[in-house]
Copies of this chain bind each other. A is one copy, B any other.
Amino acid sequence: MPQTQSYYDLDLPARLLLGPGPSMVHPRVLRAMATPLVGYLDPSYLAVMDETQELLRMVFQTQNPLTLALPGTGSAGMEAALYNFIEEGDPVLICVAGYFGERMVEMAARARADVRRIDAPWGQVISERQVAQALDERPAKLVAIVHGETSTGIAQPLHGIAEVVHRHGALLVVDTVASLGGVSVPVDEIGIDICYTGSQKCLSAPPGLAPITVGPRAEAALAARTTRVQSWYLDLTLQRKYWNAERVYHHTGPASMMFALREALRLVAEEGLTARFERHARVSRLLWEGLEARGLSMLVPPEYRLASLTTVRVPAGADEAGLRGRLLAEYGVDIAGALGALKGRYWRVGLMGHSCRPENVVTLLGALDRVLAG
């Protein structure tokens, strides 16, 4: 057995979280998480689940009855969104314009779908025409696309694509892990059939829960399955029976995380969605202007730029990881490197939820000035 003495009180450095998530967590959310627990079928816990569900409908802008928070991170949401609606051999179309589109392809293949993909270069968006062409060639049961690509910082337009997908009788799955709560995603108005997110980005709760909402067409598809969902843990039909009035035991509700998510969503409700989206737009413009003023360029053209995540080109000749390490070590500012083909050439700066404040932008720009000066 290890020496007890070797484990100290948790003593973590203070960080300003401006990466792709987790974002800063409001003190009220931290405090809610430290609430003593109750049982997973305690009437008071069931009330917390109901309230969380209602608040999730507010932030998803939906009336969908099947709206809940899965006990896993955002990737569990992705897996649930695909696995529950795919049976072996189902034709699916995945739109890939970054790392998370690639991940969807990988998951759909593991679900034994007949996977086709359409691609856009990283930093660009998928066009309505591409989707229409692919579906004209061959129909699909399901089309999946990422709204806010955390790997590139694009905000994918959805209205036209949703129309095309529905004209072709397919279901639309949308990943809003990096965007929900920071950028408007009106699920019902757009007609998204399955939409999921993570707790730790623009919602500013800690990582560990994956909110998901499922519309009526997708519910019908779920009911029409002839084979069991490949994941028992993420089977929405079983999950739902715990969340709705049946209260059938499935998993032990992750109470502390649910307390945190409820409080984070309550902060969203208090601010109001419109004000929150406006804040994300305004503060991100402040960042973009500051970067441009320093001669730093961004990967994504302004019209498709995601307010909650910006990919900044590292100045020619500069040491990407070295400078990023100095931001963290000297100023406590946490930004991220890039993924895949962008690795080493771009930084990723997140302005998500509680992290998205003007004072954080000026801190980052000031620290960046200092480390770039050598």
Contacts and interface: CB of A to CB of B under 8 A. Distances in A.
Interface of A: 1-2, 4, 7, 10, 12-15, 17, 19, 21-22, 24-25, 30-42, 44-45, 48, 51, 54-55, 57-58, 71-76, 79, 103, 106-107, 109-110, 198, 200, 206-208, 228-234, 249-257, 259-260, 262-263, 266, 269-270, 272-273, 328, 334, 336, 339
A233 B72 contact: yes
Chain A binding site: helix, strand, loop or mixed by DSSP? loop
A229 B12 contact: no
Contact of A107 (B32, B39, B106, B232): B232
A273 B1 contact: yes
Given A7-B55, A10-B48, A252-B200, A15 B39 contact: yes
Contacts of A14: 36
A38 B13 contact: yes
A208 B257 CA distance: 8
Contact of A206 (B12, B257, B270, B339): B257
B42 A2 contact: no
A15 B38 contact: yes
A252 B10 contact: no
Given A10-B263, A252-B200, A73 B71 contact: yes
Contact of A231 (B13, B79, B266, B273): B79
A198 B12 contact: no
Nearest to A253: B207
A44 B13 contact: yes
6 contacts: A13-B44, A15-B42, A31-B34, A110-B231, A207-B253, A249-B339
B42 A34 contact: no
B206 A256 contact: yes
A199 to B, nearest CB: 9
A37 B33 CA distance: 13
Most buried by B among A4, A110, A256: A256
Contact of A37 (B25, B55, B103): B25
